Structure formats: C-alpha cells, structure tokens
Amino acid sequence: MDPDWFALKGLGDVLGGSGASRLQNSLVKTAGVATTATVGVEASAGPNLLIVQVLVAPGKDPAQAERMVYEEIDRVARDGVPKEEVERVETDYLRKRTFALVTTAARAQVFDEFLTIYGGLEAVNGWEKRVRRIGGDDLKRVARKYLTAANRTVMIVNPEGKP
Amino acid sequence: MTRRELLAMAASGAFAAEHLNRAPFSHENLTVKLPEAEPVKLSNGVTLLAIEDSRLPIALVRFHVEDAGAIYSPRPGVAECTAEMLTEGGGGRSGKQIADEAARLGATLTSAAPAAAEAAAVEASGLISHFSEWLDLTTAVVLDPSFPADEFSTLKQRWRVRGRLRLTQPANLTYDALQRLIYGSHPAAVVFPSAESIATLTPEMLAQWHRERYTPAKTTVLCIGRVRTSSFVSRMENLLGGWKADEAHPSPPPPPQPASARRIALIDRPGAAQTELAIGGLLMERRDPDYIAMAVLNGVLGGTVSSRLVRILRDEKGYAFNPGSTYSAYRFPGVWRVNAAVRTDATADSIAIVLEQLRRLCDEPIPADELDRAKSNAVGVFALGLKQPSQAINQSYLRNRYGFSADYWERYPAKVNSVSAAEIQAVAQKYLAVSRAQIVAVGDAARIRPALDKLGKVEA
C-alpha cells in the first residue's frame, strides 16, 4: 500500500465521506444542484481509484455540478484543510474501523483485508497511528499530485442515454 | 486421529461416503443467556432499555416512537418526512451544524419511519469518547426539531429523485405491486409515497405531526455499549425528565384481510432479459404462536442456501442466481414473500416450481433431516445475530414491545427445536395456500403473458 493512500482516503472523506463533507455542503445543501455527492477511495493492493459520484438534481445543469466538484478539489489543492476538519475525518474513520470489529466475521474480514493489502497483520495495530499522522498539508499535497485534470476520467450518464 | 489416518480414510472412500454433504449438528438446545435490559420508566412515561457491552469503545442509542410510523400517517409521506427531517434542523442548530457536530463527535445520526413501520426511529452510534455530547445532540433533534422550509424543499427534491431511481429497479416494482395486492386498503400497501403526495406537504404539517405523536409515553430509548446503565439512566432523566406532551391514543388501522383468491399482476418491461417474480401472501401478527413455525418453514422454502427454492431454481435449473423467501410480522399481520429474478424463457417453469413447492409444504410433512437442518439454521442465525450489539438490544426492545416473557429469547432455541413437521404443515395450509398466493411479474409481457394467463386473470 502506497503511503499516500492514507492521505487520499482522508481527502476523499473531506470531500464526500459523510453528510458533513464539502461536496455535500456545497452541491447538495447550499446550491441544490445535486441530490447526492459522495467520494470513495478503493483499497486494494494494486492501483486504486478515487471516485467522485454526483447525482444531479432534476432540471439542474450537470456542467455546473461538475464545475463545483473541481472548485472544491482546487480549494483543497490551494488552501489545504484546517486541522479541525482533518481531525473530524480521522475520528470518523476511527469510528468506522471500530464498528467494523464488532462481530467475529467482521474481524476476520479486517484481518483478511490487512493480509491482502499490507501483506501482514502487524499493520492492524499500527493503522490508527498512520491515520493520525495525516495533516492538512498532506491532503493538499495529494490533491495536487493525483487529482489533476490530466489524471481524471469523467463519465456523464443521463436517463436518455445521450452523451 | 492423525492427518495421515484421515487422508487414508478419505482415500478409501469410507469418509466421503459417510460425511459428504452432511454437516454435523447437535440436537441439543443451544443455551443462550442474554444480558438483561430491565425496563426503566421515567415519571413522564419514557421507557429506557440499556445493556452494558464493554467489548469495544462504542455505543448505540435508538429512540423508538410508537404510533409515529408510516402506517399511522394522516396522509402519505407525513410520518416519513417528519422522521427524516429531524436531523435537518433542531435544538437551535441547522442541518449542516447537526451533521458537522455529529462528525466531530465521531457519531452518526439517522432518522426514519419506513414503509409499514409502526414506529419512527432515530438512531445514533459512535465512539464513547464523546458519548454524552452526541447523546445530547440526538435528544435535541428528537425533542426540538425546527423543520426548516429550505431543508424540506431540498428533501422533496431528493424524494422525487429517489422515487424515480427506485422505479428503475424491477425488484422495487414487484415489491410495491405485491404489497398493494396483499395489503389492499391497509396503509402498509404504500411502500414509497409518491413525489406528488410529498409535494403537497408543508413544514407545518410535519410540526403538527411531531407535536401530536412524538410524546414521552410512546418513546422507548435503547442503549447498548461501553456505557454504565446507571449513568445512562441518570443522563436520560436529565435530558428527558422535563419532556411533557399531550398523549394521543390513536387506533391502529383496521387489520388487513387475507385474500380470498389469487390475483396476478403483470408489469411490462419490453425486451427485459429477466422476469422479476414475487409471490406472497398475508401472515400472522408477531405475537401469534404460528410465528415460530413460520421461521422454520421459511428456512425450508427459500430462506437458506440449502432451501428448496435455492436448490431447484439456482443449483438444479440455473434459472435464477439469488432466489429466496422472507417473512415478516408486526403488531398487525406481516407477509411471506418469494422473490426470484429468472431468465425470461424460464418464467413459466419458475412460477410452476414455486407453486409446486408451496403445494408440497401444504400437502406433505417435511422430512426429518430437512426439518433438522432448517431448525439448526434458524437457531444458528439467531445466536450469531446476538454478537451484533444492535441486534442484542433489539431483542430486548421486541420483548418489551410485544410483552414477551422475561425468558422469551432464552427459550427461543428450544421453541424452534420443538416445532414439528405437522405444525409447519398446518401453518403452510393456513397461510401459504397456492390458490390464494398473490403473484407479480415484471418482465417482457409479450413473452411471459401466455404463462401467466394460464394461472388466472392477469391485471396488467
């Protein structure tokens, strides 16, 4: 697993990991151009995708929604992320991880995930430290490094099936 | 026995012949000792149920508000929207502030009053490091929602999109249609209020519904996690003790009536490669003694991977990947339902197979080994579920809600194991009669209608 993965995961959560995320606030709550706006980061041993998914509201312009996504990405790349927002994302990540340890089956899945991705179980105990080590500048750095126009594929699907 | 001996035994064929496809299981009753959640009543009528579970530094709190669910809704959507709007503004905070605060505290906050629900539910879960703060936040949104007009307008828009999206899924079409056939004029027939219904609602309607139905005596608060019961009770006394409201005493809707005959609904999806089938009927209420036999019956019919429908429709015929059956029961009668997405050219045969399996359950006692497997599965699933805190506290809630005995869940495995083949057959005859099974098919009408016509009058 590339060390940047943790920062990218944090970046994904800042942008669209919960109801308090930036895309949710700007596209859904404030501008009303979308009904949902989420971000997921794949977690595999190979190259991973960061996927932004926006469901454009009826009658709204997909181009506007797309532009607003880029604005939020650019804002992170330009200004970084304040400490309290990073802490919020880290806490949320910690919550999800802890809840994933509740049942025996879920624990087995976590161990399986660590064996597959990290090649060993030692990382299970070191994982929280790695998450806590992320700072706002890390998110800024990976936003600049990976979320570039050249590195981006955009797909627009509309109900009529016309491009 | 050594590994070498085992291999030798397997090689001789004796091992394989004796044990292949025969998982060992015990006929002894599983002994379950659930943690106690003794109900605590506050002076204003709020009921508290708490279980200490110190395995992880987490907790879950859920408010159940009886009679505030969708089946009591004065018009479609009021109960659903009221519940959903609770987290969109309240306790002096905007929806954004509630979301931000929950995230900061390491908690999630959701609220809903889904279809066929009798109660509205608000659930929060999170890390115990900020437990008291997110408990305060949760209580604030339950007691003091503001129903902001702008947020409600956004919710209406989301509802419209959600409605359109869900109707693109054939499984939702069959579900909606089957509920209508089974429940008729009962409010549980409405799975998802239409966008047109929602458009007529105002924030004032939601506020009025909240005033009338979100009351202390109708509220049960559950808590499970690394939280001392005494401190939870004390905190809730502080937060809820002053909550006063006029208690409404609504009558439940008249109970749904069992169908006297089969109805068949066909929804056309021209060119569809698959037919989405749903076949079902009305069941019993949750307190009905037949419920336990139904749990075992469902395991035989389609509720497990070794059930009859899975074995035939998937393993033997290859018609469907994920066929199955489910059942439900509430303070009003629930439903049984068979679902299968089958190849279009196998629609007629698939329906015939389902109906034949229903007939067999009615006409023939279940063989002993098959019955044992179904019971073992029902008990095993129950026991495994108790590892999940939300399920463990839910058992306490159900026991309290339905007035079950204090040892109801401890005795549950024994009750399951005592169900006889004759009892299951009687339950099948009572509820699963082929002549009264409601049938819904979503698929290419030009290709599947002839098969449906043979079963009776088709409503398209």
Hey, is the C-beta of B95 within 8 angstroms of any chain A C-beta? yes
Map out the domains of chain B with their CATH numbers. Answer: 40-240 (3.30.830.10), 264-459 (3.30.830.10)
Hey, is the C-beta of A38 within 8 angstroms of any chain B C-beta? no
Strand B274-282: give its sheet, edge to edge: B324-327, B335-343, B274-282, B438-443, B264-268, B458-459
What are the extents of the domains in chain A? 4-151
Hey, is the C-beta of B96 within 8 angstroms of any chain A C-beta? yes
Mean pLDDT of A9-32: 92
Task: Give contacts of B100 with chain A, Cβ < 8 Å.
Answer: 20, 88
* pLDDT digit string, tens, across residues B412-438: 999 999 999 999 999 999 999 999 999
- Other CB atoms within 10 Å distance of the CB of residue B160: 18
Q: At A7, is the pLDDT very low, low, confident or very high (cuts 50, 70, 90)?
A: very high
Mutate which: B108, B131, B224, vs A, most A CBs within 10 A: B108
How far is residue B94's CA from residue B64's CA, in Å, rounded to a whole number? 23
How far is residue A113's CA from residue B290's CA, in Å, rounded to a whole number? 43
Q: At B22, is the pLDDT very low, low, confident or very high (cuts 50, 70, 90)?
A: low
Residue A161: predicted pLDDT: 58
> Comparing C-alpha atoms, which of B314, B306, B298 is closest to residue B353?
B314
Alpha helices in B344-433 (DSSP H): 347-363, 368-385, 389-402, 408-417, 421-431
Hey, is the C-beta of A160 within 8 angstroms of any chain B C-beta? no
* pLDDT digit string, tens, across residues B57-94: 999 999 999 999 999 998 999 999 999 999 999 999 99
How far is residue B182's CA from residue B282's CA, in Å, rounded to a whole number? 6
CB distance B344 to B275 below 8 Å: yes
* pLDDT digit string, tens, across residues B225-272: 999 999 999 999 999 999 999 888 888 899 999 999 999 999 999 999
Cβ-defined contact of A28 to B106 (cutoff 8 Å): no
Which among A57, A92, A104 has the least Cβ separation from residue B387?
A: A104
- In the predicted structure, residue B9 carries a pLDDT above the cut 50: no
Which among B108, B158, B384 has the least Cβ separation from residue A35?
A: B158
Which among B96, B165, B384 has the least Cβ separation from residue A29?
A: B96
Cβ-defined contact of A58 to B161 (cutoff 8 Å): yes
Which among A18, A57, A101 has the least Cβ separation from residue B161?
A: A57
Residue B12: predicted pLDDT: 46
How far is residue B83's CA from residue B67's CA, in Å, rounded to a whole number? 12
CB distance B35 to B181 below 8 Å: no
Residue B441: predicted pLDDT: 98
* pLDDT digit string, tens, across residues B32-62: 777 778 899 999 999 999 999 999 999 999 9
Which among A32, A89, A99 has the least Cβ separation from residue B154?
A: A32
What homologous superfamily does CATH list for A4-151?
Answer: Metalloenzyme, LuxS/M16 peptidase-like (3.30.830.10)
Cα B163 to chain centroid distance, Å, stands at: 20
Query: Structure tokens of B278?
Result: 């749903």
Task: Give contacts of A99 with chain B, Cβ < 8 Å.
Answer: 56, 58, 125
Cα-Cα-Cα-Cα dihedral sign, residues A105, A106, A112, A116: positive
Hey, is the C-beta of A100 within 8 angstroms of any chain B C-beta? no
How far is residue B151's CA from residue B154's CA, in Å, rounded to a whole number? 5
**Nearest chain A Cα to B98, which residue?**
A20
* pLDDT digit string, tens, across residues A78-137: 999 999 999 999 888 888 888 888 888 888 998 888 888 888 888 788 878 888 888 889
Query: Which position has the token pair 């087995």?
Result: A108
Hey, is the C-beta of A109 within 8 angstroms of any chain B C-beta? no
Hey, is the C-beta of B33 within 8 angstroms of any chain A C-beta? no
* pLDDT digit string, tens, across residues B333-372: 999 999 999 999 999 999 999 999 999 999 999 999 999 9
